[in-house]
Structures are given as C-alpha cells and as structure tokens.
C-alpha cells in the first residue's frame, strides 16, 4: 500500500476514535455537572430544588395566598356623652357641639391564619379600639365575625379567632435564619386591594424603631412594598414560611418597610392565646440615663448605669427601699450600663423573682433585694 494511503487510513481511524472520546467526555461532564447548573442552562426548573425556577414565587403565592385574610374594623370615634347628666339635655348637647349619637370609623388591615380551627395573627394597631371585627377569607363568600383572643400593644401583636374548621394555614418559620439579601414576599390588602403581592429582599435585621409611642428593638427591614392595609400580613421566605409580620412603613422614604420577626412572635404566642396578654415583670421605677450634670450632682464618677428618676408608690422598688436619685449599676451581678440594659435585663426575669440590685447612693455602693411583680395594665 502506498505511503500516502497508509497516512490517510491512520488519520481517519484517529479522527473516529477522537470523536468517540469527545462525545463520551461531554456526557461525563454533563453527568458531573450539578443539577442547579443544568437547570440554569436549560431554563427548566427542577421541582425538587426549593427557590429555583421562573414560577417559584408564583407557586408560593398560590399556596400561601388562601391563608391571608382581610380584616375590617369599626371604631367609635365620637358622640360619647353617656354618664354625664348635662348631656341628657338637647340644649347642652347643641351648646357644646356634642353629637347625639356615636360616630364610627372603619379600619382595614391584613392577617393570616395559623391554625385550621381559625386562629389568626395580625397587628394590635389593626384592631385597636375596635367594637366590631370582621374577617374575609379568600374564596369564601362568608364574612366571619372575629373574636379578639389576646393582644399586646408594646409588641404590636394580636390574635383573633373565627369559627370554622379546615381553614388554610401558614407555618411560622425561623426569622433567625433569614439573612440580609434573602428574597421575601409580602401579601396583604393595601388600600383594600386584596391579594396584593410584592417582593423584595431583607435589607437589615435587628432594627430599633419607635412608631406611634411603640418602641421596637428587633425589626426586620425590607424593601418589599408595604402600604396602609398591609399591616398584619405575612412576610414569607422562599419556602413559603412566615418570617415576619408586616407592621410599618417609613413615610419619608421609599423601599423601607418593617416587620416583626417570628422569633418575637413565638416567644409570646402561647401566652396571648391562653392568657389574652403578655405578662411582664416590673420593678416600679422610672429611669433615665446618667448625664454629666446628673453624675456631678449625685457625686458619681461614671457615665454608666440607670438613674432612678421616680419610684412608683407601693411598687416593688419602693418596698425594697430604692429611692429617687439612686443609680442602678448591676442586677444579679450583670452590669447595667444604660437604661435599655436595665429594661432588657428585667424583661428576661420571671414574675415573682427576687433580684439582687446593686445601687450607688451618696458615694456608697449598696445592695437590695427586689421581688418583681406583674406590670400593671395601665403602665403597659
């Protein structure tokens, strides 16, 4: 066989073998490629992978939406002259401009069902002062009359109950595991527009905020649009779990909303359902920060601690001998640097617990024992 023919045959054989090896290698590489990459390249979602695919959010909304409810309230805002005999006379009512009958105002908010027998979570400010609360469940023509089971103003949480069974529900997730930058979904009835869905990310965690005389310490911040009427609705992660309860917006900014984390909700939920309120330990003192002027006046050479600005008569602190002008520097050996430290430390104690309180008084350090009691309702 001529030399050139041998070269041609060998070249064809090598090309054939190379083609087989290349094809096999591609198959091997494809087999070793993670499913996420294959899905990403093909554009087809793998149903076994949470949070993957173009329909992920739509699927979560379809599953979670039926458990999100619209809450309507009726609040009396005027016309209350009962109990005053002068206003029984029409002349006095006209003279003082008092309406002869009560005036009512409607309110709107959102909530979500957490149990098949009809327990609902929402914000306390949604139902505050309401004389009548009704709930609309998606896909149900019936309007439900809701009963207030428990509420806490300082946490802005409330639990309602509607009669029925086999309601759709939403699970409470772990807000401690959500990370800044994770996607979240808000569902509610802003401005009465039911089943409104907005999406965004967690912008920050642990935000302190003061809203309408309520002081929050640990809010989730999100850029998912939250508007009036969203209050009380769920903030969901991509597993369809509630990680927060939408509660507030910043009126001066865009893309800044806040939600109560489920870590806070879980701590008090059973108490709200079983007792109707959250019981908190109480010392019966009014406190303020140690300013340079106060420190100089009291002969105190530090800026740490909490100054007792007032003592509630008959309260635990007064019974223990704590006086106005004392500076609380430690509780049970734990250093108190600011008034916030004192509040957080006491809140972690049990009602009836005996606390060793360290004080600075007139140049001396003394210790007293204070037994906490339940904080009275008027101070909540």
User: Catalytic residue positions?
Assistant: 125, 156, 231
What is the b/e burial string over 292-321, where b = at least 16 CB atoms within 10 angstroms of the residue's CB?
Answer: eebbeebebeeeebbbbeebeeebbbbebe
Give the pair of three-digit tokens for residue 102. Answer: 């009560």
Per-residue DSSP letter, 49: S
Give the span between the Cα atoms of 352 and 372, in whole angstroms.
Answer: 5
Give the span between the Cα atoms of 360 and 308, in whole angstroms.
Answer: 10
Backbone φ and ψ for 60, nearest 5 degrees, come out as -65, -45
Contact (Cβ atoms closer than 8 angstroms) between residue 374 and residue 281 = yes
CB neighbour class for 373 (10 Å; exposed up to 12, middle 13-18, buried from 19): middle
Give the pair of three-digit tokens for residue 357. Answer: 């309180």
Cα–Cα distances in angstroms (integers) from residue 190 to residues 209, 246, 304, in the given order: 22, 11, 45
In 3D, which of 368, 372, 370 has the Cα closest to residue 358?
A: 368
Give the span between the Cα atoms of 226 and 217, in whole angstroms.
Answer: 20
Backbone φ and ψ for 62, nearest 5 degrees, come out as -60, -35
Helix, coil or strand: residue 216: strand
Strand partners, 354: 371
Owner of token pair 């597993």: 239
Query: If residue 222 lies in a helix (H) or strand (E), which one and from where to where?
Result: strand 214-222
Give the span between the Cα atoms of 96 and 117, in whole angstroms.
Answer: 49
Helix, coil or strand: residue 27: helix
Backbone φ and ψ for 33, nearest 5 degrees, come out as -75, 135
């Amino acid at each position: 066989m001529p030399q050139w023919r041998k070269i041609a045959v060998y070249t064809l054989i090598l090309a054939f073998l190379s083609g087989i090896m290349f094809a096999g290698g591609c198959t091997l590489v494809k087999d070793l490629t993670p499913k996420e990459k294959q899905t990403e390249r093909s554009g087809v979602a793998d149903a076994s992978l949470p949070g993957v695919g173009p329909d992920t959010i739509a699927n979560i909304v379809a599953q979670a939406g039926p458990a999100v409810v619209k809450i309507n309230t009726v609040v009396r805002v005027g016309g209350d002259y009962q109990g005053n005999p002068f206003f029984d006379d029409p002349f006095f009512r006209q003279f003082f401009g008092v309406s002869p009958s009560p005036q009512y105002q409607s309110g709107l908010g959102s909530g979500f069902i957490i149990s098949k027998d009809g327990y609902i979570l929402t914000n306390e400010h949604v139902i505050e002062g309401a004389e009548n609360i009704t709930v609309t469940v998606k896909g149900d023509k019936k309007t439900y009359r809701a009963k207030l089971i428990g509420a806490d103003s300082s946490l802005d949480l409330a639990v309602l109950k509607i009669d029925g069974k086999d309601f759709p529900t939403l699970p409470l997730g772990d807000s401690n595991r959500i990370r800044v930058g994770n996607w979240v979904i808000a569902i509610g009835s802003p401005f009465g527009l039911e089943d409104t869905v907005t999406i965004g990310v967690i912008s920050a965690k642990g935000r302190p905020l003061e809203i309408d005389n309520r002081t929050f310490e640990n809010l989730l911040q999100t850029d998912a649009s939250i508007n009036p009427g969203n209050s009380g609705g769920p903030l969901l992660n991509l597993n369809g779990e509630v990680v927060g309860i939408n509660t507030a917006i910043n009126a001066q900014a865009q893309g800044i909303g806040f939600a109560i984390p489920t870590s806070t909700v879980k701590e008090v939920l059973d108490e709200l359902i079983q007792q109707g309120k959250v019981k908190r330990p109480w010392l019966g003192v009014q406190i303020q920060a140690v300013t340079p002027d106060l420190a100089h006046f009291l002969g105190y050479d530090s800026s740490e601690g909490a100054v007792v600005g007032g003592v509630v008569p008959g309260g635990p602190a007064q019974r223990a001998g704590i006086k106005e002008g004392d500076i609380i520097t430690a509780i049970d050996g734990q250093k108190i640097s600011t008034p916030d430290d004192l509040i957080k430390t006491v809140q972690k104690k049990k009602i009836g617990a005996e606390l060793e309180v360290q004080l600075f008084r007139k140049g001396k350090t003394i210790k007293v024992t204070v037994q906490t009691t339940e904080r009275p309702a008027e101070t909540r």
